[in-house]
């Protein structure tokens, strides 16, 4: 293939307008759902939130769901409900958004980083096991890009060592593992409904569980630690009807009815979103599988994945550029990529706590070469073609 001059060097960009790595899809039904609630009696904590939690249970196959104000709050509540605290250790992956580790810090515990599988980029069960100490209390396993973690093996390890398994499924609503929807497998599963995620409520999150005791604790953690049901009062029944009881220290992490309405409407389109995401992933896989300069993320057969992110990993041995040069060249072609993620312990907050580079060599190597290319259901076939063309054009320029 003849080398076509890159836009970053003054050539013509692959497309005229910029495309970004992710974007929500809001339609008229979503708008109507929100305005209907605005005209009703409840803006928050009303019947729409109750309905949403029921819908989340249906979608995830979980017995209980607690909606919260965002995915970070979901992780915080899960750590509280798990009873994690001072002196405990929580094992997670470095290849994630910082919140997956920060939630342990919120409750006074120490995040411990296990390395990832070099092919799937998900947390490596062997590395989890290698990092277990007598202080380990829980594992926060992240379904990175939407692909389910190796649930069976991780469950086995957690059971063997008496650990609580929290799944950070912020990327993974709609994903199934051996036919079971994500959300019904871990002890608790946390979701995020930020606009870049598969379904959105603007800001929003949820925790699902099958355990009634955890459910109660999640509820308390997210609603000021307040109980309203007389049969559950510590000081007994027979109080005045105004009485409610604060039993633990909780937070105001409530989702509003306005957001819940949007999310219910979005969830009704989850299958459609999921199908379109899978179509685009297939097109990308087909386009990139035969390009030796690009490494495609591998999937385990157990995961039927609704992909949140599409990652390309540059095979840097075969290219004369680094990731930054490739990334900037893509942006000049008007394909705005992103990098998910800077290993969490690279950040100054963690470095100051004594974490250092070299902790997770596999994750660090992956980080050097990855970027997320645009993936969202509203992309047209032309958009998808443009992204493929841009990747091929930049590869062609820099290949050795
Ligand atoms: C988005 C995200 C979160 C946090 O969710 P927010 O709703 O933004 O608070 C947590 N973990 C992962 C892996 C995420 O991608």
152 and 233 together in one domain: yes
Q: Can you give the CATH number for the domain in which 184 is found?
A: 3.40.640.10
Residue 1 within any structural domain of the chain: no
pLDDT average, residue stretch 248-274? 98
Query: Which residues line ligand 1 at a C-beta cut-off of 6 Å?
Result: 70-72, 96-97, 99-100, 142, 168, 170-171, 192, 194, 205
Mutate to test the pocket of ligand 1, among 147, 168, 339 (most ligand atoms within 8 A of CB): 168
Torsion sign over Cα 155, 157, 163, 165: negative
The tally of domains found in the chain comes to 2
Q: Whose CA is nearest to atom 5 of ligand 1?
A: 71
Domain boundary, last residue among 267, 301, 331: 267
Residue 124 within any structural domain of the chain: yes
Residue 43: is its pLDDT beyond 90? yes
Per-residue confidence (pLDDT) for residue 1, from 0 to 100: 61
Residue 239: is its pLDDT beyond 90? no
pLDDT average, residue stretch 221-240? 92
Give me the chain's average pLDDT, please. 97
Residue 238: is its pLDDT beyond 90? no
249 and 376 together in one domain: no
C-alpha of residue 98 to centroid of ligand 1, in Å? 8
Residue 108 within any structural domain of the chain: yes
Report the range of poorest mean pLDDT among 180-194, 233-247, 357-371: 233-247
Q: Can you give the CATH number for the domain in which 316 is found?
A: 3.90.1150.10
36 and 154 together in one domain: yes
- The residue range of the domain holding 64 is 28-267
The two beta strands, 164-168 and 188-192, are parallel
216 and 336 together in one domain: no
17 and 68 together in one domain: no
**pTM to 2 decimal places:** 0.97
Domain boundary, last residue among 214, 240, 267: 267
Residue 84 within any structural domain of the chain: yes
313 and 164 together in one domain: no
Residue 2 within any structural domain of the chain: no
48 and 196 together in one domain: yes
220 and 104 together in one domain: yes
Residue 369 within any structural domain of the chain: yes
For the CA of 99, the nearest atom of ligand 1: 10
The C-alpha atoms of residue 127 and residue 120 are separated, in whole angstroms, by 14
109 and 240 together in one domain: yes
C-alpha of residue 74 to centroid of ligand 1, in Å? 9
315 and 234 together in one domain: no
Tens digit of pLDDT for each residue in 1-33? 678 999 999 999 999 999 999 999 999 999 999
For the CA of 171, the nearest atom of ligand 1: 15
Tens digit of pLDDT for each residue in 330-378? 999 999 999 999 999 999 999 999 999 999 999 999 999 999 999 999 9
215 and 276 together in one domain: no
Residue 66 within any structural domain of the chain: yes
pLDDT average, residue stretch 299-320? 98
Domain boundary, last residue among 200, 234, 267: 267
C-alpha of residue 207 to centroid of ligand 1, in Å? 12
72 and 181 together in one domain: yes
């Amino acid at each position: 293939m003849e080398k076509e001059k890159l836009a970053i060097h003054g050539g013509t960009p692959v497309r005229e307008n910029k495309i970004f790595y992710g974007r929500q899809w809001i339609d008229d039904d979503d708008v109507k759902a929100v305005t209907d609630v605005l005209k009703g009696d409840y803006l928050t904590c009303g019947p729409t939130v109750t309905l949403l939690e029921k819908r989340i249970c249906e979608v995830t196959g979980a017995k209980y769901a607690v909606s919260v104000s965002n995915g970070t709050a979901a992780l915080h509540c899960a750590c509280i409900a798990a009873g994690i605290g001072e002196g405990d250790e929580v094992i997670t992956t470095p290849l994630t958004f910082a919140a997956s580790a920060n939630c342990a810090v919120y409750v006074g515990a120490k995040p411990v980083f296990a390395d990832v599988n070099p092919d799937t980029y998900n947390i490596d069960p062997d590395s989890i096991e290698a990092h277990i100490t007598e202080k380990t209390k829980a594992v926060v396993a992240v379904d990175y890009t939407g692909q389910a973690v190796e649930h069976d093996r991780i469950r086995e390890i957690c059971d063997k060592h008496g650990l609580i398994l929290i799944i950070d499924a912020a990327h993974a609503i709609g994903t199934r593992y051996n036919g079971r929807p994500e959300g019904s497998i871990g002890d608790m599963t946390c979701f995020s409904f930020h606009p870049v995620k598969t379904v959105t409520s603007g800001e929003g999150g949820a925790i699902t569980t099958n355990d009634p005791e955890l459910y109660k604790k999640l509820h308390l953690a997210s609603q000021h630690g307040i109980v309203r049901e007389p049969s559950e009062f510590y000081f007994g029944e027979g109080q005045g009807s105004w009485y409610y009881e604060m039993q633990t220290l909780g937070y105001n992490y409530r989702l509003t009815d306005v957001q819940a309405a949007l999310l219910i409407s979005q969830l009704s389109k989850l299958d459609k979103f999921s199908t379109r995401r899978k179509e685009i992933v297939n097109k990308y896989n087909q386009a990139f599988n035969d390009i030796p300069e690009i490494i495609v993320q591998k999937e385990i057969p157990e995961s039927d994945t609704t992909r949140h992110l599409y990652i390309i990993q540059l095979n840097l041995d075969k290219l004369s550029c680094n990731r930054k040069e490739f990334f900037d060249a893509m942006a000049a072609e008007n394909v705005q990529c992103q990098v998910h993620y800077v290993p969490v312990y690279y950040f100054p907050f963690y470095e100051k706590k004594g974490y250092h580079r070299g902790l997770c060599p596999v994750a660090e190597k992956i980080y050097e070469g990855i970027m997320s290319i645009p993936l969202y259901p509203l992309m047209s076939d032309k958009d998808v073609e443009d992204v493929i063309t841009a990747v091929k054009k930049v590869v062609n320029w820099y290949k050795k």
